[in-house]
Structure 1
Amino acid sequence: MTSRLPDASSPPVTRDADSGGLWVVATPIGNLGDFAPRAAETLRSVDLVLAEDTRHSRPLLLQFGIETPMQALHDHNEATQAAKLVERMLAGASMALISDAGTPLISDPGFRLVQAARAAGVPVRPVPGPSALVAALSVAGIASDRFCFEGFLPSKAGARREAIARLAAEPRTLVFYESAHRVVESLADLRDGLGGARKMVLARELTKRFETVLDGTIGEVRERVMADADQQRGEFVLVVEGVQDLAAAQLAEGRRLYEKLAGHLPPSQAARLAAELSGAPRKALYGG
């Protein structure tokens, strides 16, 4: 998409927050220099800032001279608070939604509030900025024209392996978030589920002091992480190449489905369904 760049001499664009509405505001993921002037001005001008954790976000706002009242909005209270907040916005209040870091709603709370606001006719406006997802993709050197963002993999091993198995035939680039206490296990499951030779990038602590970007195969990256305890700390984005040999991936997925279905259906019917769902040849799954 092509757009005209603004004149560098023009004043920054600010939002009039006096008429009520919701602004979804991105905040830095690490480097405070990434805090956009428009984001700061929006947070100053609204009546209330909704933050995932006010204890985490208040120091950031105060550092930029933002003293707007704050209220916590997180996974545990969003369902009960959304309607009340929308009612206040309909009455003319202006609010800004922020997460602990980066762009709200990207594996962070806020979906219920935005959905309720839009359903009620409350204006919802983005103030874009930092995002760990986009930052990692921009430096990965892995195809980014089509990608599949999966957020955090399941915390339990069985569910995590099942989720990875369902993605084995995905041709788009795969992107995951991961935490320090699960990154080693997740890399092992990605290696076993997708193959150790699949290309990937591990982006750690993006824009922060100890930022690192490791590339190689899944097997190689896991070995480097295992060999260096420092690479097991912080916040991670995993960017994994999509499947290159689609036929082989379809066959693997077909066999996985066949094994599950064969416990409940006659072999020929299980093979037919597995073939339809995976795209694999039926005869390769069941010879009968």
Structure 2
Amino acid sequence: MDGNLLAPVHDGSTLYISVPTLPTSHSEEELKPTFIALEWPSGTQKWTQTVDNEYPYQPIVDENSLYTLGYNATITVLDTGSGEITDSIDLGYGWLDRGIHHGERLLGSADSQIYALSTESHTLDWEFESDREFVGGPAASGNTLVFATQYGGLIAIDTEDGSLTWKRSSIMGSRTSLSSPMIHDGSIFISSGSQLGSFSLTDGSTNWTIPLGGDTTLSPTLTDQGIVVCTDNQVYCHAGDSGERKWESELPGQPMSSGVGTPGAVFIPTKRNRIYKLDTQSGGVDDFIEAEAGADFYSLSVLGDHLFYSEKSTGIIYHT
């Protein structure tokens, strides 16, 4: 198989990764990804399954099922034990963007539509139509689902019935593009342009906004010392409650994401084929992982004290 893996997802005992099967000619053949289940921690392969969802997004896993999202408005459901296809759900519209598993529902977006799919019956519990298209992925806490929208907007939906909780048409300027939101301790953290902002989960009011030293639409990352966000080749850490800057660090390469946090460290992938490990207390660079050209460094995932990433079609496990 060729191509890069998406970030592994896991349910505590099994890792699930996907590799797109690339066309061998210049025909209009669709990309059909193969999903692979590996036992954790042995890495023994349990099963493989190829599905018809071309250009796949990050899969989502719950107790019994792996949900694959794709370009063709269909969710293909795989049994996590056997890999068999148990259902194919056609929502009938749009390009299925990233989603999340929250409670008893799968929550995601397609263009300007939000859907809530029951993980028990595989039927729609509710739908919500927005006047703007959604950007990035959602975040949820309690009964509140949060999405960023076009032109710098932010919207909150009740996860139980799909009703509108609150909406802001522009939180940091209408000409800005927002990152995917991140929720922690009753606040929504989001980056846009050259700013990092914190907003109330209850009503969307602004807690604080902080200028950054460069432009970014990379999503903030939660660490044990604060909120980390990257711009150009800079990394910033801010206190979640006040927005106070704790430290600033410079990397030799441009970050491809704001990374993933582990106790005492944050791992940040860059375009120089390196993943840098920064100390969350000081921002100092402790170490780096170097890979061959073409490594898919968007694909970072953490399970316990292990970091997972990929180099082309090879999955790599790194002890943090």
TM-score (norm 1): 0.31
Structure that is richer in helix per residue? 1
Structure that is richer in strand per residue? 2
TM-score (norm 2): 0.28
